[in-house]
A and B are shown apart, each in its own frame.
Chain A
């Protein structure tokens, strides 16, 4: 375990150390102390390492992550795990707006609530939120899975493409072209695996599935104002 004090080291030096790790690194475990809500902690990491952040983070923590397992022992500011490619980002507390935005792969787990625009334009990432999510979540979501164990806010899945949305609680409203869909056995299997992987004891049968009605894929004159 290598311990890095963000306040002593500074953000650039800290991120450089993490970004310099390769597939062959022997230094697998890293701990970051004194994050104090700083921005861009542990961004652009591309190595199979474990990073634990002791405290809450500011904007874009774990952005562009590849391979690494990043764990925030606190809450995260806007844009956590933005554009993640692979690996995992786990937040023990809440996440602010646009968590997991544009993510291509990997798994983002938020054990508290996520604010607005969670999973906006997601492109293959899996996001599991143990609590609630805010409005405009999964806006223009292209692929991947968004699992919400609590409630979803207004306009869920507006202009959605092929991402799957699973919500256990209530949905305040669905966005344009987002509809409730049949939950088939293959969906229950996907959901079961995601819930297990993210340490959530909710039952897949308690969820509803939402997705695209596929009416906005091509320009239709009837949709114009």
Chain B
């Protein structure tokens, strides 16, 4: 199974409630995937600054002095905000690649969850309710966000195997389903110098989109071509710095419900996830068509 929720706000006055709404939606999907949970939140960013979300098993010792160490290595000021096992490191945009290279040397003590100008990713093994409360997601503000609760099929239940996957700046992808050609596609993408960290099938789908985007495709085009190049079952929800997209494979056996009002676009694996949203009774509610790309932009 697996459960997906997503929320893309059109009404700025709802931004303060994004974390709360997304947390509630995710918890209703607990019985679709109690193994692990994760959430990507896109929020306001400072011009010229970039963020890297990192995770450590022993945050007290592993994060100790990390911002200074990283700041010295990249020759720039780094700010660190710790939330439970995760920390968000903020640095000048120009130093993002250098900081990523530096942090990769600390793997596996420090693991990179995501990077970009506005994205923050929090994911851990455990029930959605526990995960969202550990990171205090309910208090987060943002313009859009995606959540996932996992019932693992293709790789082990670990933090790195949890969704969302971030394989390019401000991009993220969550998945309900399973891919059958991920091993061959992973080898192909690695030959194209696309970095893939895990043996998970979903990360390959995320990396595939990153590769397409790097080669000049729009997100819409990349999602269209995924319908030809990815073999297996999938309902994907993807996020970019200012966009939110949905695509289902042509067989479309993995469930999906969408709702749209003047204030938001919402996605849920089931209607249950949407029932607490404001004015849901008046929303246009529909099931996304198979093999059809849906996309919204700010």
B-binding residues in A (CB < 8 A): 36-38, 56, 58-59, 75, 77-78, 93-94, 96-97, 115-116, 134-135
Checking A36, A93, A94 against B275 with a beta-carbon cut-off of 8 angstroms, the contacting residue is: A36
Hey, which chain B residues are within 8 Å of A75, CB to CB? 271, 285
Contact residues of A: prevailing secondary structure: loop
Answer whether A58 and B270 are a contact pair too, CB < 8 Å, given A36-B275, A94-B287, A135-B290: yes
A37/B290 in contact, CB under 8 A? no
When chains A and B are docked, how far (Å) is the Cα of A115 from the Cα of B272?
18
| Contacts beyond the supplied A78-B255, A97-B253, A115-B287: 17 A-B pairs with Cβ under 8 Å | A36-B272, A37-B272, A37-B274, A37-B275, A38-B272, A56-B285, A75-B285, A93-B285, A94-B285, A96-B255, A116-B252, A116-B253, A116-B290, A134-B289, A134-B290, A135-B250, A135-B252
Please report the C-alpha to C-alpha distance between residue A94 and residue B256 in the assembled complex, in whole angstroms. Answer: 13
- The minimal Cβ–Cβ distance linking A129 to chain B, given in whole angstroms, is 14
Question: Once bound together, how far apart are the Cα atoms of A134 and B270, in whole Å?
Answer: 18
Closest A-chain residue to B271, C-beta based?
A37
Task: Report the Cα distance A58→B289, complex, angstroms.
Answer: 18
| B72, chain A: closest CB distance, angstroms | 53
Q: Is the CB of A94 within 8 A of B286?
A: yes
Q: Which of A37, A59, A93 has the most CB of B within 10 A?
A: A37
Task: Specify which chain A residues have a CB less than 8 angstroms from the CB of B271 in the assembled complex.
Answer: 37, 56, 58, 75, 77
CA–CA, A116 to B290, complex, Å? Answer: 9
Q: How far is the CB of B282 from chain A (nearest CB, A)?
A: 13
Verify B270–A77 contact, CB threshold 8 A.
Answer: yes
Instruction: Give the B interface residue count (CB, 8 A).
Output: 17
A186–B270 Cα distance when bound, in Å, is: 41
Chain B residues with CB under 8 Å of chain A are 250-253, 255, 257, 270-275, 285-287, 289-290
Top-8 shortest CB links A-B: A37-B271, A37-B272, A36-B275, A115-B287, A56-B271, A58-B270, A37-B275, A116-B252
Residue of B nearest to A98 (CB): B253
Please give the distance in Å from B176's CB to the nearest CB on chain A: 13
Residues of B within 8 A of A77 (CB): 255, 270-271
Min C-beta distance of A113 to chain B, whole Å = 8
Q: Which residues of B contact A36 (CB under 8 A)?
A: 272, 275
Chain A residues within 8 Å of B251, by CB? 116
Smallest CB separation, A76 vs chain B (Å): 9
Distance between B177 CB and nearest chain A CB, rounded to angstroms:
14
Q: Which residue of B lies closest to A34 (CB)?
A: B275
Chain A residues positioned under 8 Å from B274 (CB to CB): 37
Tell me which residues across on chain A come within 8 A of B272, comparing CB atoms. 36-38, 58
| Chain A CB within 10 A, most for which of B250, B270, B287, B290 | B287
User: Would you give the shortest CB distance from A154 to chain B, in whole angstroms?
Assistant: 8
Q: Complex Cα distance A166/B285, Å?
A: 27
Give chain B nearest CB distance to A149 CB in angstroms: 18
CA distance A206 to B251 in the complex (A): 30
Whole-angstrom CA separation of A77 from B275 in the bound complex: 13
Residues of A within 8 A of B257 (CB): 96
CA distance A36 to B271 in the complex (A): 8
Instruction: Kindly identify which residue among A37, A93, A94, A97 contacts B270, using a CB–CB cutoff of 8 Å.
Output: A37
| Closest chain B CB from A75 CB (angstroms) | 7
Q: In the complex, which residues of chain B have a beta carbon less than 8 angstroms from the beta carbon of A37?
A: 270-275
B290 touches A96 (CB 8 A): no
Complex CA gap A115/B286 in Å reads 10
Complex interface: chain B residues within 8 A of A97 (CB): 252-253, 255
**Would you give the shortest CB distance from A72 to chain B, in whole angstroms?**
12
Cβ–Cβ < 8 Å partners of A38 in chain B: 272
CA distance A134 to B287 in the complex (A): 11
Minimum CB–CB distance from B25 to chain A (whole Å) comes to 12
28 contacts between A and B (CB under 8 A): A37-B270, A37-B271, A37-B272, A38-B272, A56-B271, A58-B270, A58-B271, A58-B272, A75-B271, A75-B285, A77-B255, A77-B271, A78-B255, A94-B285, A94-B286, A96-B257, A96-B287, A97-B252, A97-B253, A116-B251, A116-B252, A116-B253, A116-B290, A134-B252, A134-B290, A135-B250, A135-B252, A135-B290
